[in-house]
Amino acid sequence: MAGAFIQGLTPEMAHHANQTAAYAETLGDNVRRSAANTMDLGGSMRGEAYQTNVAGHENWSQAASLKGQNQAGMQSDGMMQITNIYDQLSAGNVHSFGTVNMPTA
């Protein structure tokens, strides 16, 4: 199987080399068969199942992006509320500080 290289080996080594070569052939056949099966599966997936899968992925992507936009909007709203409260408190503090320090006659 492995040719002239095996002739220079001991019988036991030659046997193992032949087994390894046979194993490599079987492995290669399995890889080719697996690739063919994958191609068949890919071809069959172009039908209704493929379309459903693509639609599901697109729906998931849109939902994820919408969720991100909603979260950003809520964070923005929350930040706006905090800013408004801070502005109101600051204005109140400045006003009360101004009235406390007014000189009296």
Q: How many domains does the chain have?
A: 1
Quick check: is 38 in a domain? yes
State the amino acid at position 7 in one-letter form: Q
Residue whose structure tokens are 């079987």: 26
Residue 20 confidence (pLDDT): 85
| Mean pLDDT, residues 60-69 taken together | 70
pLDDT tens column, 22-61 = 888 888 888 888 877 776 666 666 667 667 776 777 777 7
Q: Which domain holds residue 85?
A: 13-92
The candidate with the shortest Cα–Cα distance to 61, out of 49, 73, 50, 53, is 53
Quick check: is 5 in a domain? no
Quick check: is 103 in a domain? no
| Mean pLDDT, residues 73-97 taken together | 70
Residue 42 confidence (pLDDT): 64
Quick check: is 97 in a domain? no
Give the largest CA-CA distance in the chain. Answer: 122
Number of other CB atoms surrounding residue 17 within 10 Å:
16
What pTM was computed for the model? 0.33
Better-scored residue on pLDDT, 78 or 11: 11
Residue 18 confidence (pLDDT): 80
Quick check: is 23 in a domain? yes
Report residue 97 CA to chain centroid gap.
Answer: 55
Quick check: is 31 in a domain? yes
